[in-house]
Amino acid sequence: MRKLGSILAAMLTPMRHDGSVAPEAVGPLVDFILSQGVRGLYASGSTGESVLQSGAERAEILTALAEHAKGKCTLVAHVGAASTREAADLARRVGGLGFDAVSAVPPFYYKHGFNEIADHYRAIADAAGLPLIIYNIPALSGVDLSTEKLIELLRDDRIAGVKYTAQDLFQYGELRKAAPDKLFYFGTDEMFLAAAASGTDGGIGSTYNLIGDVYVGIEQAVADGDLATARALQRKANDLIALLLQHGVIPGLKYTLNRIGVPVGPCRAPARPPSADGERALDAWLSQNGFADRMG
């Protein structure tokens, strides 16, 4: 896998006010994210509300992303779905668009055995013809694979690495030790400093849409041995994350980006926008953190 950078934003999906996806708004969002020093995009994942969209809608957004950003940064298309057929079909559709890799959550909702999960991943990799990054997010997928089973998956040459969105840094270290030739991206934004200090190939996160420069800064500060700066930047990120957890992570991120002139639109139902109190709290955060001049 061609690796152009270690900080990848888990990209939001722009939507119109009628609830349809808005491929025409992909470019402004991408340009804003990349202006912060972020070097890659991970699209149509959890942050992108992918499980609320049809395969055709996801392909439309991924196509618009490739057309706008191909060659500018690392591009990873999340194609995960509950059905192997649906995931493989989307992987096949994006395989020739210019993405560097595909990614996928394990098949969710029904309780599948490990061999079924492994077959699911093989089908996706074969359909895409691209390196595959497995997506370990047990809190949302309901699939909590053991260290041994994750290592077994990583033995497949078609699997390039892991997007690891969990809090078990011991397991993360054990995986990295067992598979040093694979790529490991940490996906728990509020703990990125800990992962960077213990060793990671980078991060993929939701809040990178708004404050990607903070995570670029944490990574650089850790590399420079400047832990005071790294701690201060993680604190800045966590203050935002604490607000988003109170008022809705994806709705809150979309509110803040719309507020500063990046037109990402609303979330898809059943998600609701932040309350009036949430809007005031997020406005205050924006004003206090360098975005006042962008607020309309």
Enzyme catalytic residues? 135, 163
Helix (H/G/I), strand (E/B), else coil: 202: strand
Report in angstroms the alpha-carbon separations of 77 from 8, 10, 80, 107, 136.
12, 10, 9, 16, 15
Q: Where are the beta strands (DSSP E) in the chain?
A: 7-10, 40-43, 74-78, 101-104, 132-136, 159-164, 183-186, 202-205
Distance, in Å, from the CA atom of 23 to the CA atom of 146, rounded to the nearest integer, reads: 38
Residue 132 to residue 17: CA distance in whole angstroms: 34
Q: Which two tokens stand for residue 167?
A: 């809090």
Provide the token pair at 67: 């057309």
Alpha-helical regions (H) of 135-275: 138-141, 147-154, 169-178, 192-198, 208-224, 227-247, 249-259
